[in-house]
Structure formats: structure tokens, C-alpha cells
Amino acid sequence: MAALISQLAFLFRSKVTAPEIQALFDAVERVRTGAPSDPKITATGESWSKAVKRARNWPSLPTKPAGQ
């Protein structure tokens, strides 16, 4: 899901960083359960960012930003 958000942001020429996506997931979890995301999740920093970029390949979406 993080990769899809990242790919859509890229296609709409918006800058969304991996930490911002992670914060979004944390906010959703706080609304859903009243508690922060699982603290045992270790996908943070550079490893999280690389994982999001690697998975940004949804085949049904265009690969170039609009207008190119």
C-alpha cells in the first residue's frame, strides 16, 4: 500500500516521502485502535524508503507523470 501511495504521488508530481507515508499509517492505526502502530515494526529509515521505492511498480498505473 505504501508503494501505491508513493507511485500515485510520483504520477501526480507530488513529493511524499517514505517517513510521511509511515506517519500516515501510524495516524490511521491511532484512529482505528487508539494506540500507535506496533512498536516492534522495524521497517524505518533507509530500509523502509528503499522498500517503498522497490515496490513502486503497479502495472495498471502509468509509469510517467501526466504531461510527459
DSSP state letters, 6-55: HHHHHHTT----HHHHHHHHHHHHHHHHSSPSPTT----HHHHHHHHHHT
Report the pLDDT value the prediction gives residue 52, as an integer from 0 to 100. Answer: 77
Most distant CA atoms of the chain, gap in Å: 43
Report the pLDDT value the prediction gives residue 40, as an integer from 0 to 100. Answer: 61
For residue range 1-16, list pLDDT tens digits in order. Answer: 888 888 888 888 898 8
For residue range 21-56, list pLDDT tens digits in order. Answer: 888 888 888 898 888 776 666 556 677 777 777 777
